[in-house]
Chains A and B, each alone.
Chain A
Amino acid sequence: MNPLFSTINDKIERSERLDVDEALQLARCDDLLGLGALAARANARLNGARVLFNRNRHINYTNVCVNACNFCAFRRDDRQQGAYCLTPQEVGERAAAAATAGAREVHVVGGLHPEQPLAYYLDLLRAIRRAAPDIHIKAFTAVEIDHLSHLSGLSLAELLEELKSAGLDSLPGGGAEIFAPAVRHQLCPEKITGKRWLEVMAAVHRAGLRSNATMLFGHLESWEDRIDHLRQLRELQDETGGFMAFIPLPYQADNTRLPGLRGPGGVEILKTLAISRLFLDNFQHLKGYWVMLGVKLAQVALAFGVNDLDGTVIEERIGHAAGAASPQVLSCEELCWLIRRAGKQPVERDSLYRLLGEH
């Protein structure tokens, strides 16, 4: 074993943390499978042979967005052709259909609509709650929360209380993109800063809500930017403990406005997942989001530290608008088959990562 890998291996055994410099050294090493084996060991200590999934449905309530992030192929201007905004009733109907189909969670995110008031969002949550009383409502990224706070004039704490009482159960981890200010400015100039994203998440966790965290990678950022992103997440997690899963998202290159970028290859994606697993010792779960990774690579990622394959994800729109080639839906049977073929044990979870039983 090379000296770097021995050091990291010892650290895993002693439950010690990697520092930024070690993570950067791992990023520079070309022993992909050696790195994967380390990440797999770190994961096995946390999660054994279990691989988790849930039954969920995505609902993108609007594609109208005041921001115009360069990596997004989903957004529309308010009156542009193809723009839409679902009514609370329509969202409720979709949630009811999802519940009937066996989903335990709805994942509700959308653009930053210029005109909808806070009441719309509260109605939307209430409509879901009414239509599907038992479904877990995971909704609104930190970016939407910031937008709602501005348009309503409420503090984050006040806003989150309102949303909670209307039915919000937890938050997804989107909108983090990459925290590094220079890259973020090129990528999504109108979007809240990385600092603000972290502030919102701190408030979310203080409000007793749990969330995930993401990183969009493989565009303009350096490995230093990636590791720094992980470092900031790890620090906030030390303070709040409110993050459940970390979800690295490979940039999808089609139909977006960053010419010349191809998006990361399979090797780069696996490396990023493995280093994330090793560095984020205080995150229990690392998600291989098959919508963005592709089903095949997501399965392979189970050998590189991933312990969660997200869910059945009916009707994902955002990644697919940017050219993600994955199917629109995976059945539970197919998810379980993929997990079993990898020699692991499929376990269904709920949205808060409580285990619901083996499949």
Chain B
Amino acid sequence: MLAGISDKLNCGQPIGREEALYLLQEAELLEVGRLADRMRQRLHPQRRVTFVVDRNVNYSNVCLAGCSFCAFYRSPGVEGGYLLSHQQILAKVSELAAQGGTQLLLQGGLHPELTIDWFEELFRQIRSQFPSVQIHSLSPAEIVHTAELSGLTIADCLRRLRDAGLASLPGGGAELLVDEVRARISPNKIGWRQWAQVMEEAHAQGMATTATMVLGFGEEPQQIIEHLFRIRELQPASGGFTAFIPWTFQPANTDLGGRGASAWDYLKVLAVSRLVLDNIPNLQASWVTQGAAVAQTALFFGANDLGGTMLEENVVAAAGTSFRLSKEELIALIREAGFVAARRDTGYGILQEYC
């Protein structure tokens, strides 16, 4: 079977669900890695590995969803809940801009009171004060929630946010795009079809997005494959998803608990993702959940991007994992692995190569 898959890939043909499942379940880790590495070389022949200078700002941890895998949220009215003011957020963006940052990832809980004008006002101010920073913010769950709270359709909500300055959407909240899994871990969150609907609408309005996947919820291999193919099939011919970003559930301090996914599982899924998603140009390695050593290794399993420097990260840290890397460390990590490090913008345009 492996030889057949390899031939298909060599001819640039897509692989099917069964073949992907074979790679995930039966094939040797390094065999799958080598196929993914070959595809990475074909898609990114410059041997470049990119990253973006960014900051995650979590405007609020108050959330109505109450997902069992999350160690970050507080239910409304519970002690420890917070909401940042526009002024506090702008101060954080100012620090990001001062450090040459180009991407702001604003993400928060599903707050019971924030309607669209709160975001519009914030985005307008960010756009006018920090034009060099791209607002890459709000995952589909937040878009749906904001639309509902504001009495808007998803299309109108996205349009208004876009006009206020929202340039692109992160692909968070995808977790596993299979409703049987979602019903178990995040019953109050949007289902996979709504996630897909937001992404389709964003793409239709000319906004780029990424897509994520979270491993380690005790999901079945078939469900992982289903997630990948759903993303593959959602990708418009014109390209709306710029990157795919798998990472692993961090179990500490969560209700769900368990062991999560091992590094071995992570690398295998990463490689299979590269092979299934031949219509999505970039694949991110997650140093935030895997650490520097495995993230560097991931560059040989299909990944061509290390995501952001993340001047601030709170959500994964709340679940007990706190890997930190500076821009210099990211560059060194890329170089040591034999690649050319490059800083990019949110749209994967190259801003600077580090030769």
Contacts and interface: CB of A to CB of B under 8 A. Distances in A.
Interface of A: 30, 32-34, 36-37, 40, 262, 265-270, 293-297, 299-300, 302-303, 325, 334, 337-338, 341-343
Nearest to A32: B300
A50 B291 CA distance: 27
A338 B262 CA distance: 7
Contact of B291 (A32, A268, A296, A303): A296
B294 A297 contact: yes
B9 interface: no
Interface string B319-343: 0000000000100110011100000
Residue from A269, A303, A325 having most chain B Cβ neighbours under 10 A: A303
B272 interface: no
B142 interface: no
Given A32-B300, A303-B29, A341-B264, A296 B293 contact: yes
B211 to A, nearest CB: 24
A296 B297 CA distance: 11
A37 to B, nearest CB: 5
B297 A267 contact: yes
Interface stretch (B30-38, B65-73, B99-107): B30-38
Contact of B337 (A262, A267, A302): A267
Given A268-B336, A342-B264, 15 more contacts: A265-B292, A265-B333, A266-B295, A267-B299, A294-B293, A296-B293, A297-B291, A300-B267, A302-B264, A303-B264, A325-B291, A334-B259, A337-B262, A341-B264, A342-B262
Contacts of B332: 262
Interface in B187-243: none
A30 B338 contact: yes
Given A269-B293, A300-B294, A337-B259, A33 B300 contact: yes
Contacts of B329: 262
Given A265-B292, A266-B292, A299 B263 contact: yes
Interface SS, A side: helix
26 contacts: A33-B33, A33-B34, A33-B37, A37-B28, A37-B31, A265-B293, A265-B333, A265-B337, A267-B296, A267-B337, A267-B338, A268-B336, A269-B293, A270-B297, A293-B293, A294-B293, A295-B263, A296-B262, A296-B290, A297-B291, A297-B293, A302-B264, A303-B30, A303-B264, A338-B262, A343-B264
A267 B303 CA distance: 14
A26 to B, nearest CB: 15
List the 8 closest pairs (A to B, CB-CB), nearest first: A266-B293, A296-B263, A341-B262, A266-B296, A297-B293, A266-B297, A342-B264, A265-B336
A35 B111 CA distance: 51
A337 to B, nearest CB: 6
B294 A296 contact: yes
A345 B336 CA distance: 33
A267 B267 CA distance: 14
Contact of A300 (B259, B297, B299, B333): B297
Contacts of B259: 334, 337
B278 interface: no
B245 to A, nearest CB: 18
Contacts of B294: 266, 294, 296-297, 300
Nearest to A340: B262
Contacts of A325: 291
Contact of A36 (B30, B292, B293): B30
A275 to B, nearest CB: 15
Nearest to B29: A303
A303 B333 CA distance: 21
A37 B34 CA distance: 10
A215 to B, nearest CB: 18
Nearest to A296: B263
Contacts of A342: 29, 262, 264
Contacts of A268: 336
A334 B295 CA distance: 22
A150 B333 CA distance: 44
A302 B294 CA distance: 13
B265 interface: yes
A175 B31 CA distance: 37
A297 B264 contact: no
B34 A34 contact: yes
A300 B263 contact: yes
